[in-house]
Amino acid sequence: MSTIESLRREWTAFRRPGRLIAMAVAALAVIALGLLPAFGSRSSCDGPCPVIPVAADGSVVSDRFWFWHRDLGREGSITVRLTAMTGTITYPPPDHDEIVAGLVPWAKTGIIVKDGVRPGSSYAALMMTGSHGVRFQHDYRHDVAGRPGSVAAQSPRWLRLTRSGDTITGAESADGRQWHTAGTAELAGLPDTVQVGMFATSPGDLTLREVGLGGAIEQVRFTQAVGVFDNVAVTGGGAGPWRSDSVGEMNHTDWEKYHQPSGAEEEDGVVTVSGTGDIGPVGEDGLRSVELLLTGLVIGLIVVVVVAARYGTGAGRGPAVVAAAGFVTGLVAVGVVVPVGLAIMKGNGIPVQPVPALTGARVIGGVAVVYALSAVVAFGLGAWLRRGWLAILAGLSLIVLPYAVTAFPLLPDPVSEWLLRLTPAAGFAIKQTQVEYPQVIAHYAPSAGYFPLPWWAGLAVLLAYALGVMLLIVRRRRA
């Protein structure tokens, strides 16, 4: 019998109205549960919503800090001595009942060269951090550690940025005489005149609160960093005065309104800059991601597993048709819900995480492949166990349950991570769109949308399960 004839017979055996309706319901469930939050999300700002910083590459970033600055030409430098770095953390654990002095690990204060004061514009900065020492960072994603040993935020530290055309070089010194190059960046397209000066910023204090059976949810509190500078020297600058501005909105919190506003001041050659926010590769303002539109995947997966497992115990002799049905179900469902859902949220004024075309194609096509391989695993369990209820139970326990319980802050993060390394649910790493950055403190856990394996490795785990169950079938049929 030819392959085409065999597939035709398989399709004839599969295309029962109940199975086709079930697959259509699976796709519609994914679409409906994805579009429901999209329709229900609307912008609710008091007045105009804050501008979302967008970098030159189109990515949404964090760019909020206080800036004491002046003009700098195509050739020039700024040299300062950072004499002190302090900070404030509001209502930290365990009791959440007081405001304390302290710095979060990625609080930042130092010097920066920036293409104006527009949030999202190109920059290079040399800074002291709360607990990661001196860092040279540029254009949001790039981070280089300074000299080993320069880690104490309280230690005086000399900092220098030098501009030569589009090249920015950062150097640090303990005494102002012996300098160590921290890093160099090429900022293509810088205008002849940029802004240079001192800055301060501090991201929220992140802690985790235990819920469920050991899961964790994020709690973030306001923080503020303060840098004190002297021996400020600028060469190659314009004739204009120093200016004090916030990049991004500031001074809206109760702490800033009633206690210590963010800002900058100069007295007898000593400049004090205080600020809150962050400069980095991840937006601060709760951007909606593709994950929000894919909450219905677990419902669709249940239907695919049940149909495939029952088919494997009955008329099915091979997994090709049921795999194709799973692929089409996933492709239609995600192919509709992702572009339509993103368009609806953008139309409602909701800030949405940009999804590059290749990433979107990987999510849509990848979920379809995951559905197809999951159908193969379920089919194989049905053909091997030969009992429909037992095959369905095994398929749901092996594929659906690990994916479902790790999507919520129910289990401890390490348990969730191992489930997504060792079970077929690892394949859903194909849909991850968020990126982990070492210079950004975040809750990098499955319940927050982060998978422990890269997408290709997760898909390989699922493929290994599919091949394994098919091998069991072949051995059983030969026995």
pLDDT in tens, 239-266: 689 999 999 999 999 999 999 999 999 9
β-sheet bridge partners, residue 200: 66, 109
Count Cβ atoms below 10 Å from residue 414 Cβ, excluding itself.
11
Co-location of 198 and 273 in the same domain: yes
What is the rounded distance in angstroms from the CA atom of residue 434 to the CA atom of residue 355?
A: 10
Q: Which residues of 324-338 are buried (b: 16+ CB within 10 A; e: fewer)?
A: bbbbebbbbbbbbbb
What is the rounded distance in angstroms from the CA atom of residue 287 to the CA atom of residue 349?
A: 11
Global confidence as pTM: 0.90
Co-location of 71 and 171 in the same domain: yes
Co-location of 346 and 252 in the same domain: no
Per-residue pLDDT of 5-48, as tens digits, reads 877 888 888 889 999 999 999 999 999 999 998 888 776 666 66
Co-location of 262 and 153 in the same domain: yes
| Statement: residue 277 has pLDDT above 80 | yes
Q: What's residue 7's pLDDT?
A: 77
β-sheet bridge partners, residue 87: 225
Co-location of 327 and 472 in the same domain: yes
Confidence of residue 154 (pLDDT cuts 50, 70, 90): low
Give the distance between the most distant pair of CA atoms in the chain: 93
Co-location of 272 and 335 in the same domain: no
Co-location of 343 and 445 in the same domain: yes
53 within domain boundaries? no
What is the rounded distance in angstroms from the CA atom of residue 385 to the CA atom of residue 27?
A: 27
Co-location of 123 and 253 in the same domain: yes
What is the rounded distance in angstroms from the CA atom of residue 294 to the CA atom of residue 286?
A: 17
Mean pLDDT for the stretch of residues 58-67: 93
Asked whether the beta carbons of 241 and 69 are under 8 A apart, the reply is no
What is the signed CA dihedral for 206, 209, 210, 212, rounded to 10 degrees? -110
Mean pLDDT for the stretch of residues 411-421: 97
Co-location of 300 and 273 in the same domain: no
Q: What's residue 45's pLDDT?
A: 64
Asked whether the beta carbons of 101 and 260 are under 8 A apart, the reply is no
The parent domain of residue 302 ranges over: 3-40+287-478
173 within domain boundaries? yes
Co-location of 295 and 338 in the same domain: yes
Domain boundary among 261, 280, 299: 280
In single-letter form, the type of residue at position 477 comes to R
Cα 351 from chain centroid (whole Å): 14
Total residues belonging to the chain: 479
Mean pLDDT for the stretch of residues 156-168: 96
Asked whether the beta carbons of 412 and 341 are under 8 A apart, the reply is no
Domain boundary among 254, 280, 306: 280
Q: Tell me the CATH number at 150.
A: 2.60.120
Higher-confidence residue: 6 or 222?
222
Per-residue pLDDT of 305-327, as tens digits, reads 999 999 999 866 789 999 999 99
54 within domain boundaries? no
The DSSP letter of residue 352 is B
pLDDT-above-70 percentage for the chain: 94
Domain boundary among 280, 310, 330: 280
Q: What's residue 43's pLDDT?
A: 67
CB neighbours of 290 closer than 8 A, spacing ≥ 6? 338, 342, 353, 355, 360, 363, 431, 433
| Statement: residue 1 has pLDDT above 80 | no
Mean pLDDT value across the chain: 91
Q: What's residue 52's pLDDT?
A: 83
50 within domain boundaries? no
Co-location of 176 and 293 in the same domain: no
Q: What's residue 60's pLDDT?
A: 87
The strand ranges marked E within 326-392 are none
Asked whether the beta carbons of 67 and 232 are under 8 A apart, the reply is no
Q: What's residue 285's pLDDT?
A: 60
52 within domain boundaries? no
Domain count, the chain: 2
Co-location of 293 and 330 in the same domain: yes
Per-residue pLDDT of 130-147, as tens digits, reads 999 999 999 999 999 887
| Statement: residue 220 has pLDDT above 90 | yes
